[in-house]
Chain A
């Protein structure tokens, strides 16, 4: 009997386990994870902060569901992989042999190196225990400071504001998420935050955290200004967890490099999810995402390959639907570029692909809160940001991921003052009649 071992009980690991089971009823499948909660909706933690959902609802599968599918879940920290002996070493000394191994160790928040980072009340948002800590601190505190960019920073800002804290949000430069959003989009988000009572500070760099008796009481900015607070949250980016892979001699760049079969190059070892850096046919490069669905799909494909069903992973245009300052926002494909001072690399719910904009023409339409920006390439649409009204979210998702030839409407679309929404909707309805889901 083949033994498949999976390190990590996140969505990539679980999806791999389910895929192996779907093609091999007899295989032994062991998942090892060190979070006590094991498998839950990590993006759902944001809705725990905003009180939209109770803890118990964040679990898509219960222990009995794992059991029913013959997936063994072990609690433990894998400390070392021995690729020669094909075995794993857990903290505490246990050794587990594998026939096939999946490394799905996810990513962890990057924390800045500042004086006072060890003070109580300084937090990040990676996992369940972080979310609980933030909620505990929010109950006691009145003022909070959030530092960073991307989706997670805003989710923390909004969660805390909703719970009645006075929130100060620090940005290092002049606008929010400058390498994914355009200026108008950043301003919409910032305006809405202000409306919710959040104080934004531009050009603000934290120099040190200040504390008393081991607890944070405030921070000092580079200009000398001090802000008092009992909670400081950092969301300045994430980094794949690579320690195991590095020690095992896997090929690394920013993440674990894999081919389209999710193979690492070391015999019998695969990688998937936030930890993996996968080939992106659209840009021709290996890129990182921190997105639930790519992690799920990579896990599935890795699982099939581990079980002997050779299957290629074809990466699609990176896609996320999220809320930015309460405004539903869809981000698809390539929409921006350059650096964002608030983030080191990428954040949660983010993709390197979004910053990979080749030559394209932006056409946009804008009302007070609803905004659509479409990046028009030579023959296809290559990216879009849809804020507020989501009528175009699904049409653009399909036109961009299916790389539909838009030549027939291109000229009309990029014409200044063109009716962007109507043109796109008409074109999409027509395309769907002939090509879309029947």
Chain B
């Protein structure tokens, strides 16, 4: 990773930590598993996408890799608080 990429990924990371959770839109998902494959800490993101549930895993780094790698725009950050476990997603 170049220095510049490192800085932007750091910035994205901090922003994500501040703002929220990875949330799936399961109507877009075809269960290909690219998200789970690329999760640096091995969270089965695909299973969350199948269930349509936010990744409310306290280990989630909110690094955004799954969001970036998903070829179908299934995943996005939604505002919420990791610590309170609350999210603004009602679906």
Q: Are B71 and A328 in contact (CB under 8 A)?
A: yes
Which residues from chain B contact A393 at a C-beta distance below 8 Å?
73
Q: Are A41 and B30 in contact (CB under 8 A)?
A: yes
Q: Are A53 and B32 in contact (CB under 8 A)?
A: yes
Known: A47-B71, A321-B72, A437-B91. A41 touches B27 (CB 8 A): no
Chain A interface, >50% SS class = mixed
Which residues from chain A contact B56 at a C-beta distance below 8 Å?
none
Q: Are A52 and B34 in contact (CB under 8 A)?
A: yes
Known: A57-B37, A321-B72. A41 touches B25 (CB 8 A): no
Known: A52-B34, A58-B33, A437-B90. A293 touches B27 (CB 8 A): yes
Known: A322-B72, A437-B89. A57 touches B36 (CB 8 A): yes
Please report the C-alpha to C-alpha distance between residue A47 and residue B33 in the assembled complex, in whole angstroms. Answer: 10
Which residues from chain B contact A25 at a C-beta distance below 8 Å?
none
Which residues from chain B contact A11 at a C-beta distance below 8 Å?
31
Q: A53's contact among B33, B50, B88, by CB below 8 Å, is which?
A: B33
Q: List B29-67 residues whose CB lies under 8 Å from chain A.
A: 29-34, 36-37, 46-47, 50
Which residues from chain A contact B30 at a C-beta distance below 8 Å?
41-44, 292-293
Please report the C-alpha to C-alpha distance between residue A394 and residue B27 in the assembled complex, in whole angstroms. Answer: 11
Q: Are A319 and B27 in contact (CB under 8 A)?
A: yes
Q: Are A323 and B31 in contact (CB under 8 A)?
A: no
Which residues from chain A contact B91 at a C-beta distance below 8 Å?
437
Q: A54's contact among B26, B29, B37, B47, by CB below 8 Å, is which?
A: B37
Q: B33's contact among A44, A292, A328, A438, by CB below 8 Å, is which?
A: A44
Q: A328's contact among B26, B46, B73, B88, by CB below 8 Å, is which?
A: B73
Q: Are B71 and A323 in contact (CB under 8 A)?
A: yes
Which residues from chain A contact B14 at a C-beta distance below 8 Å?
none
Which of A44, A322, A323, A394 gathers the greatest number of chain B CB atoms within 10 Å?
A44
Known: A60-B47, A60-B50, A437-B89. A321 touches B73 (CB 8 A): yes
Please report the C-alpha to C-alpha distance between residue A390 and residue B26 in the assembled complex, in whole angstroms. Answer: 17
Q: Are A44 and B31 in contact (CB under 8 A)?
A: yes
Which residues from chain A contact B34 at a C-beta distance below 8 Å?
44, 47, 52-53, 57
Please encode chain A, from 395 to 438, with 1 for each CB lying within 8 Å of some chain B CB and 0 for all others: 00100000000000000000000000000000000000000011
Q: Are B73 and A390 in contact (CB under 8 A)?
A: yes
The residue on A at minimum CB distance from B36 is: A57
Q: A321's contact among B28, B37, B47, B50, by CB below 8 Å, is which?
A: B28
Please encode chain A, from 373 to 390, with 1 for each CB lying within 8 Å of some chain B CB and 0 for all others: 000000000000000001
Q: List A304-341 residues whose CB lies under 8 Å from chain B.
A: 319, 321-323, 328, 330
Q: Are A57 and B33 in contact (CB under 8 A)?
A: yes
The residue on B at minimum CB distance from A316 is: B27
Nearest 10 CB-CB pairings of A with B: A44-B32, A43-B30, A57-B33, A321-B72, A438-B90, A292-B30, A41-B31, A437-B90, A60-B31, A57-B37
A52-B71, A319-B28 given; name 8 further pairs at CB < 8 Å.
A41-B31, A43-B32, A47-B34, A47-B71, A58-B33, A321-B28, A322-B71, A397-B27
Query: Which residues of A are interface residues toward B (Cβ below 8 A)?
Result: 11, 41-44, 47, 52-54, 57-60, 292-293, 319, 321-323, 328, 330, 390, 393-394, 397, 437-438
Query: Which residues of B are interface residues toward A (Cβ below 8 A)?
Result: 25-34, 36-37, 46-47, 50, 71-73, 88-91
